[in-house]
Structure 1
Amino acid sequence: MDLLFIIDPLPSLKIYKDSSYAMMREAAQRGHQLHIAYLEDLAVQQGQVVARATPLALQEGPDWYHCGAATHRTLASFDAVLMRKDPPFDLEYLYATHLLQQAVQAGAKVWNDPQALRDHNEKLAILTFPQFTAPTLVAKSATTLKAFIAEQEEVVLKPLDGMGGSGIFRVRVNDPNLSVILETMTRQGQQTIMAQRYLPQIEAGDKRILLIAGKPVPYCLARIPAPGETRGNLAAGGTGRAQALSASDLEIANTLGPILWARGLFLVGLDVIGTHLTEINVTSPTCFQEITQQTGFNVAQHFIEALELV
């Protein structure tokens, strides 16, 4: 296959844990051709979506990649285009999904599907599956938010566009800083946020469950918060512990998997605390290498094998 990865700058990748690198390494080992492009390399010329695509060869050592001469190619000329640009989902990311959707209409295979990326905010997407979620409120009114916090007593507040645990607050009904926290997060009532009942099961980890072409990887990564910390995110100092999926994990994964795959979401990362779904990650799900290193289950191989079939 001839593959195009739309990705963050190569020097910024931490290859010892980066899932996009694991995908590229596995694809190269299977004889597939690799190309990369950045968001700024996308363009529409004479009605066709093209990319300034750079051939990529992987090698051992600190200089782990070698780039060839870039050429302009239509996205439809690749066997698959993998959108692996990390959040934030800002306006430039949004514009890129519109270009990618145009490419899909011209015959390109883009994963995850650009329309599905737009339709699935990683926080709000859980609202489609209330049977698996903890009590949740989406609002920007301080009065409404305070009433929910009073009802639940302990709540986690999240911005709708954050990643890696950034901007998350755990608050209690009698928190003396509650008003200023709400003012800051909602920008004085101008920005919508999410509030979820605090789940003490976070102490056992925030589980990342991977779905590939609608089917769950048999192991998840439980991200254990650091001492004194509420967030389990690895970017916030959490420790990853791979473990087999529980019965409740499988129920969530097997229910959501076919639905999300039918919507064009080839790779999904479900976040689960205890038995509750807290996020549906679709932009650039991670944890491939941590699961592989701890269990021996080669997630990247599973991913590329599935990609070869679509």
Structure 2
Amino acid sequence: MRVLVVMDPIQQVNLKKDSTMAMLWAATRRGHQLSYALQQDLYIDQGKAFGLIAPLQVFEDYNHYYELGEKSAQSLADFDVILMRKDPPFDMNFVYTTYILEQAEREGAWIINKPQSLRDCNEKLFATQFPELQVPTLVTSQQSLIREFLHTHQDVIVKPLDGMGGTGIFRLTADGANIGSTLEMLSDNGKLPIMAQRYIPEIMDGDKRILMINGEPVPYCLARIPQNGETRGNLAAGGRGEARPLTENDRKIAEKIGPFLREKGLVFVGLDVIGNYVTEINVTSPTCIREIDDQFGTSIADDLFNVLEQGVSTKRNT
């Protein structure tokens, strides 16, 4: 297959942790042809989607892990699969990129994940479509409503709707200090909605990342365990990653959400689960492949490419 990856600058990746590199290494092992673009390399000309695309070679060698060729203008529709792996922030530039990728999709390219669903499925708000799987959750820009919610539940997590890696997450208690200033900062003085969720004590046992491939769960998750008095388990916030087999409840959650992911063209997704509750559904550039692979000997990127190869083969034969 011809595979294009749209990602952050490849020279800046964390080789020990980067899930996109795991995908690129798997693609190379399987004989696929790789190309590379940054978000700003994509464009539309006369109604058609193009990119300034560089040929890419990757190597499983930490001292020499990639080589890029010269960029040239190419039609995005010429690629069998486009991996959209640009990290958040989910800003207007990201939205504009999904419009360009959506044009490529209309021309025949398969975008992982589907551009419209990247826009529609905000990683915090998407989870609210499954209230039976969530703790009490409130989304509002109104400080009075959040204070009432805090009075009811006493111990609450508040966070922005567009963060990643644990940024902007605060734990508030009903008798705590700085409630007003925290809410003012997160909501930009009441202009932006934010999310409040009842605190889940099981976070101390780990914030589990369950990876989903075409609506089916990988058999192991990564529990991200807070360290040094932190509330957040995110690896980017210093959490320790411990891979574990899925529990029966983890599988029930995956079984409930999986069909919705397939319906929306969300092929590679990360569910965040604390205790028995879903807190987020990550659709932009989910991570944790490397940590699970290292601890359990899996090859999650190969599982993903099994699905991609099958999908492209089916398309070619129809």
TM-score, length of structure 2 as denominator length:
0.96
How far 1:61 sits from its partner (Å)? 4.0
2:299 paired residue number? 298
Per the alignment, residue 146 of structure 1 pairs with 147
The reply on whether 1:13 has 2:18 as its aligned counterpart is: no
Residues 83-118 of structure 1: per-residue CA shift (max 9 Å, x gap)? 000000011000001111111111111110000000
Q: CA deviation at 1:17?
A: 1.1
Q: CA-to-partner distance for each residue in 1:210-260, whole Å, 9 max, x for gaps?
A: 000111000000000012000000000000000000011000101111211
Partner in structure 2 of residue 180 of structure 1? 181
Letter in 2 for 1:245: L
1:97 aligns with 2:108: no
For 2:260, what is the secondary structure of its paired residue? Answer: helix
Q: Is 1:36 paired with 2:26? A: no
Once residues 195 and 34 of structure 2 are traced to their aligned partners in structure 1, the CA distance between those partners, rounded to angstroms, is 39
Aligned to 1:51: 51
Provide the secondary structure at the position in 2 that maps to 1:242.
strand
Name the CA distance, whole Å, in 2 between partners of 1:61 and 1:199.
Answer: 39
- Structure 2 counterpart of 1:281: 282
Query: In angstroms, what is the RMSD of aligned CA positions?
Result: 0.8
Q: TM-score, normalised by structure 1?
A: 0.99
Aligned to 1:195: 196
Contact 2:15–2:62 (CA under 8 A) maintained in structure 1: no
List gaps (5 residues or longer) in structure 2. 312-318
Q: Equivalent residues in 2 for 1:164-243 (5 A)? A: 164-243=165-244
Structure 1: 5+ residue runs without aligned partners? Answer: none
**One-letter identity of the residue aligned with 1:27:** A
Once residues 193 and 199 of structure 2 are traced to their aligned partners in structure 1, the CA distance between those partners, rounded to angstroms, is: 19
Letter paired with 2:54:
T
For residues 15 and 33 of structure 1, what CA distance do their matches in structure 2 show? 21
Q: Secondary structure at the match of 1:220?
A: strand
The percentage of aligned residue pairs carrying the same residue is 48
> Is residue 227–residue 239 contact of structure 2 (8 Å, CA) maintained in 1?
yes
Residues 269, 282 of structure 2: 8 Å contact kept: yes
2:157 aligned partner: 156
Q: Distance in 2 between matches of 1:272 and 1:75?
A: 36
For residues 45 and 58 of structure 1, the distance between their equivalents in structure 2, rounded to whole angstroms, comes to 30
